Structure 1
Amino acid sequence: MSESRVFCPRCGDPVESPGEASGRTPLCLDCYFDEFSLVDAPDRIEVAVCATCGAVKRGKRWVDVGARDYTDVAVDEVTEALEVHVDAEEFSWGVVPEQVDQNTVRMHCTLSATVRDQPVEREVTVPVLISRGTCTRCGRIAGDYYASTIQVRGAGRTPTDAELTGAREIINEYVGEREAAGDRNAFVTEIKETGDGLDARVSTTQIGRAVADRVVRRFGGTVDESATLVTEDEDGDEVYRVTYAVRLPEFTPGDVIDVDDDGPVLVESAHGNLKGTRVTTGEHYEADFEDGIAPDARRLGRAMEATETTLVTVEDDNAVQVLDPETYAAETVPRPDYLDPAADTVRVLKSRAGLHVLPATAETD
């Protein structure tokens, strides 16, 4: 029986491995490698890099690549651009960058692989041209762009320094979290204190809403939202700027307020509805649901204004005598259940309603 043989359709030499999945007659090794190209590389690569933040433009998007310099950018771009032949096995490559000038990096690439059990090595050189520009984010920052405003105000008062500092920290921390998560649209345009409180302009409405909610979670209060039409985008869609007005509670932890006929209250919480402790009895106080954080009351003073004075005597279960810190006269005042009868001194707040014994642990700042 004669042996079946397959011949190269180009040169006519016999082919040792006649079968191919495609069913076509294969070329011999010489003819195959005459046409073989291990890697397909572009003649050159042009890369747009933001001169401010170093982001690289890929298609219509700007991408943070974390490159240390433009050589790193060139390596990354060449890596993305090289197309290796499908028959290549055990492929590896190395690159030697050559900085031609400030805007050009010539990449000398050495590539090796195994193809049809034969070692193959190729060298290609790809110039990478760097063009510097401004990414969308940096352009917006430079142009003082903002999409939302957060206004922090107090109800019937000016926010405290602690509230203003806390609100500023919340804004910067949240935007920092978004940036760390890769959100290139996250930035703060402006934060400034005004006579009424604090105003902040941020890059997106999502950030504005999230910051406003965080301020309320920390300090209590409410958020009102309003939108203003400013323009239309390139698709004809309406573009709005949104203002988030944060109204901090009128009364805050540490306030002593005259809320009803049952005695003043030391405020401990302004979340949900106002909560605190009666300074005449030590009993818990909680505002009615409909009053929320704004019961009809007047502020008598702050716990931080309290003065340490002498506990003269415990008269009975309901009253004690203390020295007035201003006149040094002995005054009889209600005895709250948190008062330690064995103590030598107590902290008292003097107001137009009289002397009030406060807990030793009451907020002092």
Structure 2
Amino acid sequence: MSESRERREFCPECGESVPPREEPLPGAPRDEARLLCDDCYFASFDLVDAPERVEVRVCSRCGAVHRGNRWVDLGAEDYTDVAVEEVTQALGVHLDAREVTWGVEPEQVDETTIRMHCQFAGIVRGSAVEADATVPVKIARQTCTRCGRIAGGSYAATVQVRAHDRRPASEERDRAVEIAREVVAEREDAGDRDAFLTEVDRTDDGPNLKLSTNKLGGRIADRVIQELGGSVSESATLVTEDADGNEVYRVTYSVRLPRFRPGDVIDPTPVGLTTTPGEGPVVVETVGDAVTGRRLRSGDRFRTDAELSAAAHLGHVDDGDPVTLVAVEDENAVQVLDPDTFETRSVPRPSFFDADAVTEGETVPAVKFDGEVFLVPEVDAEEGVSRMALVDFAKFCIGDES
């Protein structure tokens, strides 16, 4: 007898016959629920597995959110979107569901609680299934590791900004602090939560900056001398040992700004200002690996890699007022009003003086030293000078005790 019989399966729960199911692929786990009839299957079926509660840890100082085992800066103005994302990650949808769609409606209960009303829909065994879930989200305000370290005054490096044989100008002191904040902001934007400025101690001799890491301190010191010139040295002090027994050091970066800064008027060789044509006072334009500027008598470019330890500092161009141009005599001289006697006097016409850019009666930048008036060039404001002015430098003469 060759009669074929249809293979029948029965629900292990109620005994009702069920249509044959597809066999799982080789090596795949065998799900006993596949043997259940639809009634028994849906009787214990949950489309969504939702937690009873979700907690979101938020730093009360900086607003960072704790995820996994670390704090993350999200820049969120409120935490509704954060709560939605956390609930999304905590919810589980049944593997048998297909074409799943869902929506969420947040309800702000109070400042620290958001109730999430979630609706789900999908197809299971060819039938449309819907489910609702309400998940309360608690906003737990804490202090992140970074803010805790800042509040505790934690630091690993100190950057001391000083100047050689002078006190840093207020602009230099302020700019050094700005550079430190800029470097820290750059590291924060790059996701470095270990980068922060612990303390700024402003003194007349220069700021002392405490930084979170030695690497950050080195970056800031290098950036300061890159922009303001000078040199940097470092020294390390052993402070403790970590949990693994490794020695932990604090590093001090000593930044020394150059003796001169843009806008300073100096005499590189203080033997006499009128001995040789082309020599004499120089207005400093840049400092760094070399000092550059202009000779005030001739307008010739000046550059030296020497330390200028014997140079005399005569003053700065921002210490006075311009003089009035009376007339242009020739290619070698112009006439101006003496700022003290108001008499017309002839002064050297340097190469940087542009007679076409100024008319008689207008003011021109100049300095006065040892009874002689010199025209000065404009120095780029980005180099630290906002204007060039007339200065009576007689009071800055070497040996002057006043």
Settle same-fold status: TM greater than 0.5: yes
Partners of 2:375 and 2:80 in 1: CA distance: 71
Give the equivalent residue in structure 2 for 1:197. 206
Give the equivalent residue in structure 2 for 1:20. 24
Q: Is the 8 A contact 1:56 1:65 kept in 2?
A: yes
Q: Is the 8 A contact 2:267 2:311 kept in 1?
A: yes
Q: Is the 8 A contact 1:266 1:279 kept in 2?
A: yes
Describe the SS at the equivalent of 1:223. strand
Q: Does 1:48 align with 2:57?
A: yes
Describe the SS at the equivalent of 1:267. strand
Q: Is the 8 A contact 2:168 2:205 kept in 1?
A: yes
Q: Is the 8 A contact 2:59 2:141 kept in 1?
A: yes
Q: Which residue, out of 312, 317, 338, partners 1:303?
A: 317
Q: Is the 8 A contact 2:347 2:374 kept in 1?
A: yes
Q: Does 1:145 align with 2:154?
A: yes
From the superposition, tell whether residues 6 and 205 of structure 1 become closer, same or farther in structure 2 (CA, over 3 Å).
farther
CA RMSD after TM alignment: 3.4
Give the equivalent residue in structure 1 for 2:286. 269
Residues 252-289 of structure 1: CA deviation (Å, up to 9, x unaligned): 1211211136322221111321111111211111103x
Q: Structure 2, unaligned stretches of length 5 or more? A: 270-275, 389-402
Q: Does 1:351 align with 2:369?
A: yes
Q: Does 1:159 align with 2:168?
A: yes
Q: Does 1:286 align with 2:303?
A: yes
Mean CA deviation greater in 17-26 or 193-202: 17-26
TM-score of the two chains, using structure 1 as the length reference: 0.82
Q: Does 1:241 align with 2:266?
A: no
TM-score of the two chains, using structure 2 as the length reference: 0.76
Q: Is the 8 A contact 1:309 1:348 kept in 2?
A: no
Mean CA deviation greater in 110-119 or 4-13: 4-13
Residues 154-189 of structure 1: CA deviation (Å, up to 9, x unaligned): 211122222223223223333333334443333332
Aligned residues: 361
Q: Is the 8 A contact 2:285 2:379 kept in 1?
A: no
From the superposition, tell whether residues 21 and 274 of structure 1 become closer, same or farther in structure 2 (CA, over 3 Å).
same
Partners of 1:269 and 1:339 in 2: CA distance: 19
Describe the SS at the equivalent of 1:42. coil
Partners of 1:72 and 1:335 in 2: CA distance: 69
Q: Which amino acid aligns with 1:179?
A: E
Q: Which residue, out of 334, 337, 356, partners 2:351?
A: 337
Percent sequence identity over aligned pairs? 50
Structure with the bigger percentage of strand: 1
Describe the SS at the equivalent of 1:150. strand
Describe the SS at the equivalent of 2:313. strand
Give the equivalent residue in structure 1 for 2:181. 172
Deviation of 1:116 after TM superposition, in Å, equals: 3.0
Q: Does 1:185 align with 2:194?
A: yes
Mean CA deviation greater in 164-173 or 151-160: 164-173
From the superposition, tell whether residues 273 and 8 of structure 1 become closer, same or farther in structure 2 (CA, over 3 Å).
farther
Deviation of 1:196 after TM superposition, in Å, equals: 0.4
Partners of 2:43 and 2:262 in 1: CA distance: 84
From the superposition, tell whether residues 36 and 340 of structure 1 become closer, same or farther in structure 2 (CA, over 3 Å).
closer
Q: Which residue, out of 87, 95, 110, partners 2:96?
A: 87
Give the equivalent residue in structure 1 for 2:223. 214
Q: Structure 1, unaligned stretches of length 5 or more? A: none
Describe the SS at the equivalent of 1:197. coil
Deviation of 1:72 after TM superposition, in Å, equals: 4.6
Partners of 2:111 and 2:140 in 1: CA distance: 10
From the superposition, tell whether residues 357 and 96 of structure 1 become closer, same or farther in structure 2 (CA, over 3 Å).
closer
Partners of 1:121 and 1:235 in 2: CA distance: 55
From the superposition, tell whether residues 221 and 31 of structure 1 become closer, same or farther in structure 2 (CA, over 3 Å).
same
From the superposition, tell whether residues 89 and 237 of structure 1 become closer, same or farther in structure 2 (CA, over 3 Å).
farther
